[in-house]
Amino acid sequence: GEDVEQSLFLSVREGDSSVINCTYTDSSSTYLYWYKQEPGAGLQLLTYIFSNMDMKQDQRLTVLLNKKDKHLSLRIADTQTGDSAIYFCARPDTGFQKLVFGTGTRLLVSP
């Protein structure tokens, strides 16, 4: 199958680290993506990782990939109130014409 699953909700305090998790079923070599959706807006591509990598760091964002467990995570360091949004992980389907999205994790950052 092509299921991509995420936890639904995460609440953190400003300044803490946030970790958003994602699991998937297909294991073909490909990119995996993280998108951010702010209220009332479209999805914004945040970062991505290729499946031959274990980790990718981009400023406050760290993506970790465990290929054996088919587990992807997005860590946001020093989380700010502006990071409050829904975060989606996504991967191409087997035909590489579409992206399969996770259910989305709503991150709430409190001051």
Partner 1 sequence: SQTIHQWPATLVQPVGSPLSLECTVEGTSNPNLYWYRQAAGRGLQLLFYSVGIGQISSEVPQNLSASRPQDRQFILSSKKLLLSDSGFYLCAWKPGVTYNSPLHFGNGTRLTVT
Q: Which residues bind partner 1 (CB under 8 A)?
A: 30-31, 33, 35, 39-45, 48, 86, 88, 90, 92, 96-99, 101, 103-104
Q: How far apart are CA 4 and CA 22, in angstroms?
A: 7
- Residue 11 or 17 with smaller CB distance to partner 1: 11
Question: Given the DSSP bridges, would you call strands 71-76 and 61-66 parallel, antiparallel or unpaired?
Answer: antiparallel
Question: By C-alpha distance, which of 76, 27, 73 is closest to 52?
Answer: 27
- Residue 18 or 104 with smaller CB distance to partner 1: 104
Smallest gap, in angstroms, from Cβ of residue 93 to partner 1?
Answer: 9
Q: How far apart are CA 39 and CA 61, in angstroms?
A: 20
Smallest gap, in angstroms, from Cβ of residue 78 to partner 1?
Answer: 25
